[in-house]
Amino acid sequence: MTPAQFRKAVIERDVSCRLCGGVGTAVHHIFGRRFKATVCDPDNGIYLCHNCHDWAHKHIESFRQLLVQRNGQEWFDNLERKAKKGLK
């Protein structure tokens, strides 16, 4: 999947900001671009509004904890394993 396809897939899936429900403006990587295994994986993307995107970058751990609360620890652990695959 290309970066453009990744972005389109996340926007089509999420439609609006997944944190506040507002108008989405940015596709945010849950695990950053340095994790090549998931850089274009829609499971590693979330559509956010400008304010929530800013907050996610400033409060990474709180953002991830919120995702765990909403999606479950198992979901997060699986995504993290997938993201870190190939870093060793």
* pLDDT tens by residue, 49-77: 999 999 999 999 999 999 999 999 999 99
The pLDDT of residue 75: 95
If we measure between CA atoms, which residue out of 72, 74, 56, 61 comes closest to residue 17?
56
Average pLDDT, the chain: 94
Per-residue pLDDT at 79 exceeds 80: yes
Distances (CA, A) of 72 to 45, 79, 86: 16, 11, 24
